[in-house]
């Protein structure tokens, strides 16, 4: 079945450091890929997405490229800020309707950015 694997956390960085959070997936067909962010005490929010191979999703300085050849969707940001401290979830949606339309989430990576 479909699955998502993302790097274990927590990740602690200094402000302005470069961020990479690795995400790889297993899926049949052509899934859509997502990164969601959860700030403390809040629900999840969509950060970015990509719906086909070689697409690059971007938002708020974060980027991720859908790499079908390596089945990866790594999240990157060139210069993190304290306000980026949150839990980041990689997610996959398989093609087709019904249950295939459900999102499958990775376990989440907690990021802490120190001033």
Site string for another protein, 66-85 (x = CB under 8 A): --------------------
Query: In 3-state terms, what secondary structure has residue 55?
Result: coil
Kindly write down the DSSP assignment for every residue of 79-112, as one continuous string.
S--GGG-EEEEEEEE-SSSGGGGSEEE---EEEE
Beta carbon of residue 22, minimum distance to another protein (angstroms, whole number):
15
Phi and psi at 84, nearest 5°, equal -85, -5
Q: Which of 44, 46, 2, 9 is nearest to 24 (CA)?
A: 2
37 near 90, Cβ under 8 Å?
no
Nearer to another protein, 61 or 95 (CB): 95
Among 75, 89, 111, 113, binds another protein (CB under 8 A): 89
Alpha carbon of residue 67 to chain centroid: 13
How many residues contact another protein, by CB under 8 A? 25
For another protein, the binding residues in 10-69 under the rule CB under 8 A are 32, 36, 41-46, 49, 51
Residue 97 found at the interface with another protein (CB under 8 A): yes
Residues in the site for another protein, rule: CB under 8 A?
32, 36, 41-46, 49, 51, 89, 93, 96-108
């Amino acid at each position: 079945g479909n699955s998502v694997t993302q790097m274990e956390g927590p990740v602690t960085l200094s402000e302005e450091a470069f961020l990479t959070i690795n995400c790889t997936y297993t899926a049949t067909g052509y899934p859509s890929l997502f990164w969601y962010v959860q700030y403390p005490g809040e629900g999840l929010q969509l950060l970015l997405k990509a719906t086909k191979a070689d697409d690059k999703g971007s938002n708020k300085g974060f980027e991720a490229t859908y790499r079908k050849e390596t089945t990866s969707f790594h999240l990157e940001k060139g210069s993190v800020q304290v306000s980026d401290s949150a839990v980041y979830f990689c997610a996959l949606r398989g093609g087709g309707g019904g249950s295939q339309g459900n999102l499958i989430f990775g376990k989440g990576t907690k990021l802490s950015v120190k001033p």
